[in-house]
Chains A and B, each alone.
Chain A
Amino acid sequence: MGMLSFLSGRSFPRGITPPGRKAQTRTEPIRRLSFAPRMVLPLTQHFGKPARPLVQRGQEVVRGEPIAEADGWHSVPLHAPVTGSVEGIELMPTARGPKTEAILLRTHPGDSQTVRWAQPQDLGALSRRQLLETIQAAGIVGQGGASFPSHLKFDVPEGRAVDTLVVNGCECEPYLSADHRTMIERTEDVLAGVRLGMQALGAPQAVIGVEDDKPDAIAALEGAIEPGEPIRVGILRAKYPQGSEKMLVRSLLGREVPSGGLPYEVGVVVNNVGTMAQLGYLLPRGEALIERIITVAGPGVERPGNYRVPVGTPLRYLLEEVGFEGDDPSRIILGGPMMGNTVAFLDVPVTKGVSGVLVMPEAAQAGEGREAQPKPCIRCGRCVEVCPVGLNPAELGRLAAKRQYEVMEERFHLNDCFECGCCSYVCPSDIPLVQYFRIAKALNRERAS
């Protein structure tokens, strides 16, 4: 590995290079998905407090209108993705299993579904705080998967100067190409968002990290940056997990975020290109986040591609539209294959943080995803060679088997593991290392509380 590094982009040490499997979708222009007859909008689609409903059963709403308000600063509002009527507010299943409150909308079939609700503002005249409030009012959350409210990300604690806005255009997860298409087709929106992000942070410069397997995206961005503008594209090696916040900061700037800390502690805030495109498109128009770009791919999908999907579209509807027949939820992954999870039911909606919907082949396909019995660790050291954080997964796995969870945390830095899955990916003994680490962390948390 590493030996050819001078030929390609910069990178953090270690990590893995799984097959990209992006050919199915990377050249497909973004298409619009049709509007489902019924939309499901959970009040919690973000990291933080649930939104508070503003509508009642039977009420008519227009596309773009707020239907739930933020409950305080650590919350974001929700907007109607379609013109239609409120069917009710009910407990609905979520991707992870437990039911939560959601607003149900019936789509008006004959409606043209243009956005009918907008409050444009002169953004240049806003103070930093006012800009953050505008971002919150637009209901924007991180589009990369974590669903962290964007205004909170930009709300850096008093006295902490951020010198660089880092933008994540790596898309290092296999199969996904939504960010790739966004950078090519919505280059201006991305850059407008980056400029707004710099304004919100008071950051003097921005770097957009893109992997070297996306030369067209790199060219598009570089072509659209104004001469002399303090925004640059950082070319990075295509490698997983290049797009994780901490690795990205290391690869682009040579800085390392301290253990347990956040990027602003080294003067950086990291955002996804998808989020930047939303910011750059929505804010000047005074509109809100009601749809997003999603890669739908995987064996068994008849029309794979990148779709502009209204938030709240039921997964079952989406899968039917792309020509997938089958109803085994354990084959459907939300997000990428390295860090995404399968769903509990097909009757769950697409939410603001879903970057991909992948249909994985039936279990036990050749090589990938094989579900074998774990065997004893042969101490091959491969997991150690790939862990981007510099942990010793072999030792952690050995301790987990002996239930020495405290030792894992105290002596082997368990809490620095961000569950990227590289160790499990390479283990020839099929030891479910990450799964062990999740359990160990959960038990340690339980014990501490």
Chain B
Amino acid sequence: MAPRIELKTSPHIKQADSVERIMRTVVLALLPVCAFSVYQFGLSALALMATTTLTCVLTEQLFNRLSGRPSTIGDFSAVITGLLLALTLPPAFPLWMAAVSAFVAIALGKALFGGLGYNPFNPALLGRAFAAAAFPEAASTWTQAGLPERFSELLPSTLAMPFMRPESVDAYTTATPLAEWKFEGGIATDTWALFTGMTPGSAGETSALLILVCGLFLIARNAMNWRVPVAVLGSAALTAGGFYLLDPGHFPSPLFVLFSGGLMLGAFFMASDMSSSPVTPAGIWIYGALIGFLAVIIRFFGGLPEGIMYAILLGNAAVPLIERIAQPRLYGLRRGRSG
């Protein structure tokens, strides 16, 4: 018998990095944001995160079983979806609604398309959009940050029974700085408070500073494409700056725009979802610029106080189109004889 010939082909070395490490790094970067949210909003925020994360992981596992694929929960991407979803919801969001939204995020946002890498939309945002459509009232009821009893008791709506509408508890609810500007016509929050984060908002959209630090950590660990936040924030600042120059009395300053609402979280942690953003650097610039622009336009002219979620979903939808025009420049076109 002829001896077995085994030829290995190049390359014989590989960079020591893996999908798991990238995803673990993202989880690690999200933890401080989550912790801050618990500090602001207490036990309810914690319960919300636990619910969405657990539901996402279980749903992922369920679909792996159904389709006979090996388990993928080890890649941590379902954990990321769960945490991100929790961070976009109001802290007092009823848990049963959160669980349904988390299920939808993984089932419709990811499993349906074939799992990690194939999802055209950011699953967490799809879950969030579902929550806004299915539970409009609960999804836009905001709680004050730093309530004194936040560590000893849950907010009443957190434990609302399934299919019951939570009673509105006006004592706790408040308007976000963005809604204040939009519906009441004024900015009561100073920019520094926005930057550090002790303001009402969804569980994770409040501290611009913290998100910035965590985002920079991700970039330093090569777990995120730095072009995404730069493009989104740059484009948002330019767009907002343009309007501010036209009519400073009506439009808020670009700094307010950058540090309020979910723009920071969206730019660093949502738009940067690899599967649902372009693969080419040129594509990412276009994609990020589009998101930043749309986010500001929706805030200024749409019916909603916050536009980043829909801006990113629209950006996701535009990816195939963007990639059609934004391919890398092929070597071989520069003929110059001097250099």
Contact = CB atoms under 8 A, between A and B. Distances in A.
Nearest to A416: B330
Contacts of A343: 7
Where chain B touches its partner, the secondary structure class is loop
B contact residues, range: 35 or more
Contacts of A377: 117
B192 interface: no
B7 A376 contact: no
B330 A389 contact: yes
Given A341-B10, A389-B330, A434-B9, A254 B17 contact: no
Interface in A294-344: 329-330, 333, 335, 337-344
B297 interface: no
A contact residues, range: 35 or more
B1 to A, nearest CB: 15
B330 A390 contact: yes
Where chain A touches its partner, the secondary structure class is loop
A4 interface: no
A230 interface: no
B122 interface: no
Contacts of B17: 426, 428
A384 B336 contact: no
Contacts, number: 172
A391 B225 contact: no
B107 to A, nearest CB: 18
B7 A256 contact: no
Interface stretch (A191-199, A214-222, A365-373): A365-373
A281 interface: no
A174 B19 CA distance: 25
Contact of B11 (A384, A390, A424): A424
A424 B5 CA distance: 23
A390 B12 contact: no
A339 B10 contact: yes
A395 B336 CA distance: 30
A342 B8 contact: yes
Interface string B1-42: 000011111111111111101100000000000000000000
A163 interface: yes
B61 interface: no
A394 B337 contact: no
Contacts of B329: 390
Nearest to B328: A390
Nearest to A429: B19
A395 B322 CA distance: 14
A424 B14 contact: yes
B10 A426 contact: no
Nearest to A174: B13
Task: Find the residue from A250, A254, A329, A384 having the highest chain B CB count within 10 A.
Answer: A384
B19 A375 contact: yes
A425 interface: yes
Interface in B246-302: 274-275, 277-281, 284
6 contacts: A256-B333, A259-B330, A358-B12, A369-B13, A390-B330, A426-B15
Interface of A: 16, 18, 96-97, 163, 174, 246, 250, 253-259, 261, 266-267, 329-330, 333, 335, 337-345, 358, 360, 366-370, 372, 375-381, 383-385, 387-392, 394-395, 413, 416, 419, 421, 424-426, 428-430, 434-435, 438
A-B pairs with lowest CB-CB distance, top 3: A254-B339, A367-B16, A421-B11
Given A338-B10, A344-B5, 20 more contacts: A96-B7, A246-B332, A250-B334, A255-B335, A256-B334, A256-B335, A258-B335, A335-B10, A341-B8, A342-B6, A342-B8, A343-B7, A358-B12, A378-B22, A390-B329, A391-B328, A392-B280, A416-B330, A421-B11, A434-B9
